[in-house]
Amino acid sequence: MDVIDLNSEHERLYFQCLEDWSEEIKEAGDHKGRWYARMKDRGLRVKLARDENGEIGGMIQYLPIEEYYLQGKDLHFILCIWVHGYKQGRGNFQKRGMGKALLRAAEEDSRALGRKGIAAWGVVLPFFMRASWFKKQGYKPLDRDGIMMLLWKPFSQDAVAPKWVRRKKKPGKTAGKVTVSAFINGWCPAQNLSFERAHRAAEQFGDKVLFQKYDTLDRDVFEEWGISDGLFIDGKEVRTGPPPSFEKIKGLIEQRVRKLK
């Protein structure tokens, strides 16, 4: 097994989070590719784990924390680390040390680039991006927002701990219509999938539904709301992890449409 930098040969695979076999991931559109085009010259780093047969089984992506939606400086921030674990498609690459190898490679790269530490987000529940896994790798918890935990590993004594940017407000309702408000950054295909399904579902109801898109890759938009990715129907947040199905989103909108006078 070895760890390599992303190259043009594997870009499409990266845009699909190694799930090029999945029909569902194709629903996420081209948001990830367009996000990458904007961020690759702003310090984004992507590494891939390759097994002894040359098959790509894992990935990590990280960027200067100043380019993400946290309060912090002189650090890198890990957007995600993912080792393919499904039987479908590429097969299960987990439990082979790929995750640890990717994390070590990112830390070494971050040190070499002169960063004073590296931070990550983790989920306190036992699934994707587990906070407990990062703790085992020497990361210290800093802050928590719901099920999301902010962790970090400082490289120097003068490193400054980062902080979450808290939500500042949430979207509301529009008189006489159902309002679907979708926030999208582009880096995460799962969130992009939720956005695309919500957009498609909203279109099913014509002018009874107002669809509002908030592009949070625009820093001013994020600063106004304090929301990177999210979905709201008449101001009520819809959980998007894992992405809700098209049918579920459509059903939630339909419930609100029925209540219109």
DSSP secondary structure string, the chain? Answer: -EEEE--GGGHHHHHTTT-TT-TGGGGGTTHHHHHHHHHTTTT-EEEEEE-TTS-EEEEEEEEEGGGTTEE--S-EEEEEEEE---SSTT---TTSSHHHHHHHHHHHHHHHTT-SEEEEEEESSSSSSBHHHHHHTTPEEEEEETTEEEEEEESSTTPPPPEEPPP------BTTBEEEEEEE-SS-HHHHHHHHHHHHHHHTTGGGEEEEEEETTSHHHHHHH--SSEEEETTEEE--SSPPPHHHHHHHHHHHHHT--
Its pTM stands at 0.93
- pLDDT tens-place string over residues 218-247: 999 999 999 999 999 999 999 998 899 999
* Domains of the chain from N-terminus onward: 2-163 (3.40.630.30), 178-258 (3.40.30.10)
pLDDT average, residue stretch 155-159: 97
Confidence of residue 151 (pLDDT cuts 50, 70, 90): very high
77-126 pLDDT, tens digit each? 999 999 999 888 889 999 999 999 999 999 999 999 999 999 999 999 88
List pLDDT tens digits, range 14-58.
999 999 999 999 999 999 999 999 999 999 999 999 999 999 999
